[in-house]
Amino acid sequence: MSLIHTCYRILDVDRSVAFYEALGFQEKRRVPIREEAINVFMGLPEDGENPRLELTHNFDQTEPYELGTGYGHIAITTDDLDGRLAELSEQGIEPEKPPYTIREGGNRLCFVRDPDGYRIELIERS
C-alpha cells in the first residue's frame, strides 16, 4: 500500500488553486462529479501526473467547512524558507508566526493557512 493523496473540501476553486500554485503546486486535472461537485488535483513538479492533493468543491456548499480539532496539517519542504516567504508575502500570504526550530540544530519551519483555513507547514531542508 502507499498513500497517494490528501483531500480538502474547498469553497472557491480559483482562490484555492492560486494559493497552492503560490506554494509551488501545479494543477494536474479537473474531474467533475456528476452535477454536484468538481475535484481539482494538484501536484508538485516532481510528482509527474500523480497529484498529492485533491481539492473538492461541492457546488451547493456556501458556508465555510468546520475544520474540527483532530486534523493537523500537511507539510511541504523548501530549500529557501525566507525566499519562499518573501514570494508568498507578495501574494498576501503571511506565516502564522516567524520561522522557528523545534530543537537546536533542527530544520526551520513555519505555518501558513490556505483560503479555507487549512494549515500548511513549510519546512526548510537542511
Cα(105)–Cα(113) distance, integer angstroms: 26
pTM: 0.85
Q: List the domains of the chain with CATH numbers.
A: 6-58 (3.10.180.10), 73-124 (3.10.180.10)
Q: Closest by alpha carbon to 55, among 91, 92, 27, 22?
A: 27
pLDDT over 70 (residue 25): yes
Q: Which residue has the cell 496539517?
A: 73
pLDDT in tens, 62-101: 888 888 877 889 999 999 999 999 999 999 999 999 999 9
pLDDT at 107: 92
Cα(8)–Cα(5) distance, integer angstroms: 10
Residues belonging to the active site = 121
DSSP state of 85: H
Q: Note the Cα 68 to chain centre separation in Å.
A: 17
